[in-house]
Amino acid sequence: MLGAHVVGVALDPPTKPSLFVAASIGSDIIDNRFDIRNSDQLRRLVSEVQPDCVFHLAAQALVKKSYLDPADTWSTNVMGTLNVLDAVRTLRKKCSVVLITSDKCYENLEWVWGYRESDRLGGIDPYSASKAAAELAIRSYVRSFLGKDSYVRVASARAGNVIGGGDWSPDRIVPDCIRAWRQNSPVELRYPEATRPWQHALEPISGYLCLAVALESNPTLHGEAFNFGPPAGHDHSVLQLVTELSYQCESLEWHDVSKSSLDLHESTLLRLNCDKVLHFLDWQASMDFEQTIKMTAAWYRTYYEESDSIPLFTRSQIEEYSHIACAKGISWAT
């Protein structure tokens, strides 16, 4: 929509349905299907494309799956990231590289205040640990191979608790609710009291784009990490999220199964301090909790009622989000 020539690299969509297919994204981009752990193929593609910007989001992103296959999770999230860095290292032109990890890269001590980019990295479950390891790999690679005179400028971005239309991944609260709603069955809440600063997917995406632009013009951001999330005090529990979603999806019901949940680690509280992006990028979240839930539910309702209109409807939600940001005077939208 910004006029960019987009080249993508991914495996096949992991779910059916999928946002990629529903929104007809493949018709708007050059779609390459291979594993980012194939370093030779990735290097050849980057050399051929000569990108101006690279956004790295390819990952094994499910906590439960990371317990079932930790080696695949670590190899994808750590070695895949290194392969991306290796591929762009040989470029002899300016290129902004934004590497997306996760808010779960921090060692979570269940603090009531948000984690800053300088706080200690960690992670109990394999997914979180792999993202912390990716952050360490990025930091080491930049310092070792991409000095201040490098054509390539790199930054990492940390976000989480992202919801929005088009997600059908297993063991995520909104997709679980949508599946239960469609089947007229109650959704099972494993951690109803866990609180999160929920944000719509478009929020961090706008931040990643801002970061790529800023990297090109501001060399001091090279090698830095940035948190993207709502302002402090915008936390809501899983139960609050499901309750709000039930207003938009009639007949959505739920059961508290927290006492019978699988013995997998789940953080009760996880917040990010986003002062750094506000200071350096003048970026902040645009939508409140109710707007986020309403936009998310509207996408799914449209998909199940008028699936053919999803490509246009998805674009209309991007435009709506941009108008909301513009009305609030947020710099990237104005």
pLDDT at residue 14, as a whole number: 92
What does the mean pLDDT of the chain come to? 94
Cα 118 to chain centroid, rounded: 20
Each residue of 74-133: pLDDT tens digit? 999 999 999 999 999 999 999 999 999 999 999 988 787 899 999 999 989 999 999 999
Could you give the residue ranges of the DSSP H alpha helices within 12-100?
A: 19-22, 39-49, 63-68, 70-74, 80-89
Task: Report yes or no on 104 lying in a domain.
Answer: yes
Question: What pTM value is reported for the model?
Answer: 0.95
Task: Report yes or no on 100 lying in a domain.
Answer: yes
Task: Report yes or no on 172 lying in a domain.
Answer: yes
pLDDT at residue 80, as a whole number: 98
Task: Report yes or no on 231 lying in a domain.
Answer: yes
Does residue 17 have a cis peptide bond before it, meaning omega lies within 30 degrees of 0?
A: yes
Domain carrying residue 218: 7-333
pLDDT over 60 (residue 261) = no
Each residue of 183-213: pLDDT tens digit? 999 999 988 988 899 999 999 999 999 999 9
Task: Report yes or no on 1 lying in a domain.
Answer: no
Q: Residue 47 — very low, low, confident or very high, per pLDDT cuts 50/70/90?
A: very high
Task: Report yes or no on 281 lying in a domain.
Answer: yes
CATH number, domain at 253? 3.40.50.720
Share of the chain above pLDDT 70, in %: 97
Share of the chain above pLDDT 90, in %: 87
Domain count, the chain: 1
Spatial distance between the Cα atoms of 242 and 265, rounded to a whole number of angstroms = 21
Spatial distance between the Cα atoms of 156 and 222, rounded to a whole number of angstroms = 9
pLDDT over 80 (residue 51) = yes
Helix pair 310-327, 289-305: axis angle to 10 deg: 160
Average pLDDT over residues 59-71: 95
Task: Report yes or no on 157 lying in a domain.
Answer: yes
Q: Is residue 296 within 8 Å of 174, Cβ to Cβ?
A: yes
Each residue of 5-44: pLDDT tens digit? 999 999 999 999 999 999 999 999 999 999 999 999 999 9
Cα 281 to chain centroid, rounded: 18
DSSP 282: -
pLDDT at residue 260, as a whole number: 65
Q: What share of the chain is helix, strand, coil (3-state, %, to 5)?
A: 45, 15, 40
Q: Residue 278 — very low, low, confident or very high, per pLDDT cuts 50/70/90?
A: very high
pLDDT at residue 270, as a whole number: 81
